[in-house]
Structure 1
Amino acid sequence: MGALREEGYGLGCLLECAGLARSSYYYALSHPKAPTRPELWEAAAEIFSRTANGCGHRQIAMCLRAEQGVRIAYKTVLKMMREMGISCGIRR
């Protein structure tokens, strides 16, 4: 939307075409997406690379808790793995 606004299109018209509320647009501008727990990415990648097919989010979460002493939920590890672009090859 930023590029179209620079070309001279009005914000009201763009939001109407997109079906987006003005408040939602400004909320998205003020809250950019941040990576999930970037300080743990290197440790998770190392745990993932230990086996040939990798390991799943539950196994990585368990290893992070045991080895690093980190409090982390397995759903957070799953989200982190999606952002990193890694997935378990065992069940796929």
Structure 2
Amino acid sequence: MCDLLEAAGLARSSYYYALAHPQQPTRAYLRPKVAQIFSRTPNGCGHRQVAMCLRAEEGERIADKTVLKMMREMGLRCGIR
């Protein structure tokens, strides 16, 4: 295993930390709401508009960049540009 870690350029402690702390999706409970807001228009809408709707309709406290990250993970892109 040491050879594999060395080849990957990864420290042993980093490997075990990654095993103990698997990545979790950002605010998974909001993903259906983001998809529903995005699908309202034919071309979709951008992360700022989705965040604004989440704040207004759901009362969520969420940053634009968090919505941007979620939309990228979900593969949602605005078709305007």
TM-score category of the 2 structures, normalised to the smaller one? over 0.9
Which 5+ residue runs of structure 2 have no aligned equivalent? none
How big is the alpha-carbon RMSD for the aligned residues of Structure 1 and Structure 2? 0.7
**TM-superposition CA deviations, 1:34-75 (whole Å, max 9, x none):** 011111111111110011100000000000000000000000
Q: From the CA coordinates, give the structure whose radius of gyration is larger.
A: 1
Alignment correspondent of 1:89: 79
Return 52-61 or 24-33, whichever deviates more. Answer: 24-33
Q: How far 1:27 moved relative to its partner?
A: 1.0
Q: What is the distance in 2 between the residues matched to 1:31 and 1:82?
A: 22
The alignment covers a number of residue pairs equal to 81
Q: What is the distance in 1 between the residues matched to 2:21 and 2:2?
A: 21
What secondary structure sits across from 1:65 in the alignment?
A: helix
What secondary structure sits across from 1:54 in the alignment?
A: coil
The counterpart of 2:15, out of the listed 22, 25, 28, is 25
Q: What is the distance in 2 between the residues matched to 1:82 and 1:88?
A: 11
Superposed structure 1 runs of 4+ greater than 2 Å apart: none
Which 5+ residue runs of structure 1 have no aligned equivalent? 1-10
Identity, in percent, stands at 74
When the two structures are superposed, what TM-score results if normalisation uses the length of structure 1? Answer: 0.85
Q: What is the distance in 2 between the residues matched to 1:84 and 1:90?
A: 18
Q: What is the distance in 1 between the residues matched to 2:8 and 2:55?
A: 43
Return 52-61 or 27-36, whichever deviates more. Answer: 27-36
